[in-house]
Amino acid sequence: QFPFGRRLPCDIYWHGVSFHDSNIFSGQVNKFPGMTETVRKITLSRAMRTMRDLFPLEYNFYPRSWILPEELPLFVAEVRTMKDSNPSWKPTFIVKPDGGCQGDGIYLIKDPSDIRLTGSIQSRPAVVQEYICKPLLVDKLKFDIRLYVLLGLLKSLEPLEIYIAKDGLSRFCTEPYQEPTLKNLHQVFMHLTNYSLNIHSGNFIHSASANTGSKRTFSSILCRLSSRGADVKKLWSDIISLVIKTIIALTPELKVYYQSDIPAGKPGPTCFQILGFDILLMKDLKPVLLEVNANPSMRIEHEQELSPGVFENVPSPVDEKVKVAVIRDTLRLMDPQKKKRKDTQLAHPALAQAEVSPWQGQDELSGPSAQADPCVVLFCRCQSPERAPGASEELPDAAPGPEAALPSLCLKQVFPKYARHFSYLRLVDRVAALFIRFLGVKGTTKLGPTGFRTFIRNCKLSNSNFSMAAVDILYIDITRRWNSMGIDHKESGMCLQAFVEAFFCLAQKKYKALPLHKQVLSLIELCECRLAALHGKRLVWGCG
């Protein structure tokens, strides 16, 4: 541990909260730049809304959301309209502070007029969402699922890699569930599943068993559902789809932050990160995304009060079973020695032969070459017991390496494994690539007016009906509105979300007869084609 900063280069850097070391030029870091900002409730809601505008059916797993205070009038108007069209509709809404965690500041309301404007809503913006009134119950209790997702590996975000842990945690409320009424709206132990809240309930049960108590393994819930005839395979398929679609919605913003901290062409680390996905199951087993946590708790113990004011940490078998496997297998996937072993094979061909030959039981190779090169020793100590391709089945077993004693990986790759099913959704990714291309100054996250004009000019999007003066007006109007929303004021200019809005506006002007996702796709393809042609011309001029 380096509490006062790093002093030596490392293979893997494990930061506690966020990416904050600008002096890392190699290795792998367990945090992405900008991840904390990207998964905040407001940013997540905006990203999901953009994707729902493009693909309404594919992104119906996230509750309808409004951002406060800027969308309060819209929220009031839309609720009134829905009530007028359906007088029997009796909604409940949940208000969540943007930067809140562990249930802090969350409350339920029945009507927009109940929003607590007396609080510091201006300084502490929030998201208000439709509350899921009919969740799946187990033992008459509401619960949610915390699933662990590993994003990015040896190449960070390109190509995109996503792994999902095969088991997770089910966190239970501590009072029997009833649908929200004016009388029970404030009963947090009935409606909110946050562990940090329910731990203070007198009904909270710490259990050493995986299938009882107030915190259980998700696999125990699946077993229970399977015994009742539920289609558990379809449920897992729906959850995998939810996770992949959510990551696809988040990666455009993440790429902008990434290129700002780790510009292309400069030495820098690759990144990976364990995310906590909080998912609620409805009565029909449809999974609903509640939120994404950039820094999920990895504690494997809880505090127990021995006597008034005297506490001790007690192991939590359920947490340990799930979380230790996630950390362990993340490190196995990130194993920096894999590359060293490959490099050693290239540098020492004799060792490559030693790898496929029967071992004689030595813990490490002997001889002067092994002693002179510590990489050789490391290579041999870390050697996997798996046989090399083409090795005979008759060969004696190799001496077991460290991996031999470990269980199979708990992390399952879902992307790019299932990429062909989801690639059509990555439209905003391609818009973000255009945005990054015209940023101009490395290290920035906002597009200036010159960059926007260059984008329009190079892609040949201006014409007699859309002059460069109209381009400037579009830029000023959208940028001013987004900046007034309290978005990052450290830099002036157009943020990615504003650029996406401008791009959608341009697409709708140019391809009026098409649905939105086809309008956007058509404009993306047009821009990419014209930029490729321009690049080709420049290469020809360069050769000339």
Cα–Cα distance measured from residue 530 to residue 544, given in angstroms and rounded to the nearest whole number: 21
Q: Which tens digits make up the pLDDT trace of 458-480?
A: 999 998 888 999 999 999 999 99
Q: Are 94 and 115 in contact (CB under 8 A)?
A: no
Q: Who has greater pLDDT, 254 or 6? A: 254
- Decide if pLDDT at 361 tops 60: no
For residue 483, give every residue at least 6 positions away whose Cβ sits within 8 Å of its Cβ, in sequence order, or none: 489, 492
Q: Render the burial of 505-538: b for 16+ CB within 10 Å, e for the rest.
A: ebbeebbeeeebbebbbebbebbeeebeeeeeee
∠ CA(106), CA(109), CA(110), 5° rounding? 160
Q: Who has greater pLDDT, 375 or 393? A: 393
- Residue 88 has phi, psi (to 5 degrees) of -80, -10
Q: Who has greater pLDDT, 167 or 118? A: 167
pLDDT attached to residue 121: 54
* pLDDT level of residue 260 (50, 70, 90 thresholds): confident
Query: Mean per-residue pLDDT for 312-337?
Result: 90
Q: Which amino acid is at 319?
A: D
* pLDDT level of residue 506 (50, 70, 90 thresholds): very high
pLDDT attached to residue 352: 40
Query: Mean per-residue pLDDT for 175-179?
Result: 95
Length of the chain (residues) = 544
- Centre a 10 Å sphere on the Cβ of residue 203 and count the other Cβ atoms it contains: 13
- Decide if pLDDT at 396 tops 50: no
159 preceded by a cis bond (ω within 30 of 0):
yes
pLDDT attached to residue 526: 96
Q: Which tens digits make up the pLDDT trace of 277-316?
A: 999 999 999 999 999 999 999 999 887 777 787 788 888 9
Cα–Cα distance measured from residue 65 to residue 314, given in angstroms and rounded to the nearest whole number: 39
Q: Are 88 and 72 in contact (CB under 8 A)?
A: no
- Decide if pLDDT at 240 tops 50: yes
Q: Look up residue 463 and give its DSSP letter.
A: B
User: Taking the domains of the chain in order of start, what are their residue ranges?
Assistant: 136-250+260-303+314-338+408-421, 425-541
Q: Which amino acid is at 528?
A: E
Cα–Cα distance measured from residue 358 to residue 387, given in angstroms and rounded to the nearest whole number: 10
Task: Name the nearest CA neighbour of 50 among 228, 205, 241, 252.
Answer: 252
Q: Who has greater pLDDT, 245 or 493? A: 245
For residue 430, give every residue at least 6 positions away whose Cβ sits within 8 Å of its Cβ, in sequence order, or none: 524, 528
- Centre a 10 Å sphere on the Cβ of residue 411 and count the other Cβ atoms it contains: 21
- Decide if pLDDT at 449 tops 70: yes
* pLDDT level of residue 222 (50, 70, 90 thresholds): very high
pLDDT attached to residue 117: 61
Query: Mean per-residue pLDDT for 429-452?
Result: 90
pLDDT attached to residue 168: 96
Q: Look up residue 423 and give its DSSP letter.
A: G
Q: Domain 425-541: which topology?
A: Recoverin; domain 1 (1.10.238)
Q: Are 493 and 447 in contact (CB under 8 A)?
A: yes
Question: What are the DSSP calls for 225-288, one per residue?
Answer: HHHTT--HHHHHHHHHHHHHHHHHHHHHHHHHHHHHHS-TTS---EE-EEEEEEEEEBTT--EE
Beta bridge partners of 170: 145, 216
pLDDT attached to residue 350: 46
Q: Who has greater pLDDT, 351 or 527? A: 527
Q: Which tens digits make up the pLDDT trace of 117-145?
A: 645 555 678 999 999 999 999 999 999 99
Cα–Cα distance measured from residue 447 to residue 482, given in angstroms and rounded to the nearest whole number: 13
- Decide if pLDDT at 147 tops 80: yes
CATH architecture of 136-250+260-303+314-338+408-421: 2-Layer Sandwich (3.30)
Q: Are 524 and 427 in contact (CB under 8 A)?
A: yes
